[in-house]
Structure 1
Amino acid sequence: MSQHATEANFDGLVGPTHNYAGLSWGNVASKSNVSAVSNPKEAALQGLKKMKTLADRGFVQGILPPHERPHIPTLRKLGFSGSDADVLAAAAKSNPVLLAAVASASTMWTANAATVSPSADTRDHRVHFTPANLGAKFHRSIEHEVTGRALASIFTDEAYFAHHKALPSVSHFGDEGAANHTRLCSAYGESGVELFVYGQTAFDEAAPAPKRFPARQTLEASQAIARLHGLTDGHTVFAQQNPNAIDAGVFHNDVIAVGNGNVLFYHDQAFLEEERVLSEIRSKLKDTDLQPVRVSSDEVPIADAVSSYLFNSQLLTQKDGSMLLAVPGECREIDSVSRYLDKLVAQGGPISAVEVFDVKQSMRNGGGPACLRLRVVLTEEELGAMHDGVLINDALYERLTTWVEGHYRDELTQADLADPMLLDECRHALDELTGILGLGSIYDFQR
């Protein structure tokens, strides 16, 4: 029996050490802005403004906290010792790239935080969470423990929520979370089809694979998550990402496709077996007609899709049932993309409106609006059972804005990462933040 449900979006709050280290090979924007001066305060305020704008429109909007950075426990595991200041100084002297990695603010991109399956799809009718191991990149592989703690602090009631450990952190089970996962359905409370998109088959060396950039998600990881979440074959479709798209800079599927409800908005270069994938989705959606919105390479070349992050947009169902596409400002700066968006709205399809959001600080580091949010479908009972102290409203927005203004720097360079004062600033800010959000002691320095 279906229930009324809503899709909540949980955005990652940009951390105090937001910086441009160019750590992500295969992410064109990340590499092109390496070593630029960042503005953590502006980045955090841009993210909060996006959250507040969507909350004001009636969308359920939550927040996930940034992580402690630089992460001293990781440096200690790697042999650095002494006081925290000694550890920072030694790391900066011997390996500044390593220091940049443990100071990355990449946790803002919560599309990579976890894979979430709603209760309508799972065997035990609970919402299931699996933090992503993010094993393809060292700077992200250290995230899943704190991510798991944060999710468990928000979704605590075991009658409604089930939490799994991250998959083994080896390349065979590389998992990038919801950035490679889309759910399609007739209504959020109805059982749906979970589309898992992978870049390679780890145990089949002869299978198609990209040649230039690494494939971060494996079929084996996607299958494991489906098993952990208790998903049946009737609720899952596994699709391989086009290897040529990965080599063109499409490091995650959410850079080239996004789904919502019964709409799949995607580029013609997104999937290796496009027709097979669409046919299987249609057969498993049963009574619901899939509405594919296919963007051709003639209309938007793949290079323009990547540089604009057209598909790394949020596709949201508005109160009247129509869909809004929330795009980054860069989409209006590239002619082919801007023309396509005008055509998209004018043609009268399921996507009826486009709205531009300024997330330049995130975009320069390789993440658009869709990277910044984790989607969690919740029934009314589940929404009532979660910790609501992380849901954006007027009071929380004002308090977090004041918090950012008081704790974040206006400029940050790579050299600043070795400053012990920055570490102290970060810890003091996060200790205050967990109090504001009511999350308890989720950070290593608090435990």
Structure 2
Amino acid sequence: MRMNEISRRHVLAVVLVAFLATLFFACRRKAPIYLIDFTCYCPPSSYRLPLAMFEENQLYDNMDPDAVAFQCKIMAKSGFSEQTSISPSLAQIPKIKALSFALDEAETIMCSVIKDLFEKHNINPKAIDIIITNSSVFCPTPSLSAVVVNKFRMRSNIMSFNLSGMGCSAGIISMSLAKDLLRVHRNSLALIVSTETLSLNWYTGKVPSMLLSNCLFRMGGAAILMSSRVQDKHKAKYKLQHIVRTITAQDDQSHGCVYQQVDPENKEGISISKNIVNVSGDALKKNIASLGPLVLPLREQFLYLFSIICRKVWSSRRISIYTPNFNHAFEHFCIHSGGRAIIEAVERNLRLRKQDVEPSTMTLYRFGNISSSSIWYELSYIEAKGRMKSGDRVWQIAFGSGFKCNSAVWKCVCDVKPDTATAWRDTIHSYPLDIVRKN
């Protein structure tokens, strides 16, 4: 009897240990992060900024004629269509840079995309556990995240965050923050709103490097709904695979590449260095060095490593470093539409096909540089074309001031049907276009 009792105790002890071990490892396992859906802002046609209107407004606004000519020359070869948009306040003559206009612009974009997202999925705003907003150069008080909480009457215990000064890569930084929070606070919903406000940041001086921002940045924004809830697995579009962030601010040239400053006439603006393409390339190489081992097939990694060894052994620069074929790792690419030169440099350095950069090129053409939200317009383009299938992998690449290069990798978990209510709804049938390059 005593031996049987001891045996039963041993069995109970083993079962208890096994249960506790299972529970421990279950808690330690990283919760999967899902992207339920996203929406992008489509400005009304009355917000359009054709080149002729841009030139006329600048001249009538008493801007220096040489500065106007420089901007028109840049815009003519920018790869933009006549459909890109700006805030109505910037179309006024004279232009009035006022906080009230900037707030109106931010609220218009944010409320529009959030409302569309909530209505599409019948989401109660009080169900949101985490709210993250990002706008690089517009940082009012109360914050933009507080504005969203107020407008949609969200819960008092919602986790609220506002990111500023992060540049065009802020969208992926927001995703990284959301990922970490969702894994700590399991079974939660996170809402991310990415936008940029132009109303207070239109440059009216003469410095060419600061005039570039007028030629590149346009109106746009996106709302993204992420989840770590188990019940959202079957209604999500994508599952997050990796986020890799790189910053090269330790280098002075990289740190000053995109810089907010005042000119000799004390006019504020964003200066964009002529070295931005080279700086972007260096940041991308460092980012790929961390991302590559996570996503590339072993064969591609071996060929890359073998080429480096050969070059070192024979000490010959004639032996080129092998560029991995990223089409073996991804079906789709969303490259930040920061400008035609940036897209072409990434295409060339990664040896991508024209169809790989088509979403980025068409987004730049239709909407311009819409900062941190551009990667979502590109993903929306792919979906609207009916190209996204279950199992497809997507690489989102964003560049930003600092200088930063950030990557996000998603895996599609269902066949995504083209949506008629997207930012591309009226024009997707006419794309892609052959865009004539002007030198």
TM class by shorter chain equals 0.3 to 0.5
What TM-score does the superposition give when structure 1 sets the normalisation length?
A: 0.34
Q: Which has the larger radius of gyration?
A: 2
Relative to its length, the structure with more helix (as a share) is 2
